[in-house]
Amino acid sequence: MSTSETLCNSPQFARIDAAADPATASAIRREFSEWLHHHFALDAAKACDVVLAVNEAMANAAEYAYATADQPGVMQVRAHYDENAATLTVTIEDQGAWRDTDPGTRELKRGRGIPLMQALADQATVDTSPSGTRVSLEWTGVDAAR
């Protein structure tokens, strides 16, 4: 059974200790999208919103979490569906260092990832600590595929 077949048959999604780099984030995005389409009855626009928000969180981990680290880091991507509440929650975590950007020095075309995630998800939180960053994205009113 291939990885894609295994993912599609699993009621939960998890990628633990995945390399926090653009290539891995892209591969996880494809796997997550397949899993999402297999398990949930989402219209195309909502499915795109979910995948885009998750991708943005992974891209942030890949680009920023370990920018000052001596070696590459890892990220965790997990999705949980609460059938009773019809709620899909996706968390993306890293063990890197949070960096607040100075609005005066931030590139004008950058820095819109968190507002984008907040606009796409019903609820989006970013929790930072010395041990890393955790992004939690939640969508309500999500129906399981029949």
> In the structure encoding, which two tokens stand for residue 53, read together?
């928000």
Residue range(s) defining the domain that contains residue 95: 17-99+112-140
Whichever domain contains 79, its CATH number is 3.30.565.10
Residue in 30, 46, 52, 34 with CA at minimum distance from that of residue 112: 52
Which band of pLDDT confidence, cut at 50, 70 and 90, is reported for residue 54? Answer: very high
| pLDDT tens-place string over residues 7-26 | 556 678 999 999 999 999 99
- DSSP H helical ranges for the chain: 3-9, 22-39, 44-60, 113-120
| pLDDT tens-place string over residues 24-37 | 999 999 999 999 99
Cβ distance 73 to 94 under 8 Å?
yes
Position 50 in a domain: yes
Position 105 in a domain: no
Count of domains for the chain: 1
For 61, list phi and psi in degrees, rounded to 5.
-60, -45
pLDDT value of position 4: 47
Position 2 in a domain: no
> In the structure encoding, which two tokens stand for residue 109, read together?
């075309």
**Residue 110 pLDDT > 80:** no
Position 3 in a domain: no
Position 7 in a domain: no
Cα–Cα distance measured from residue 113 to residue 123, given in angstroms and rounded to the nearest whole number: 14
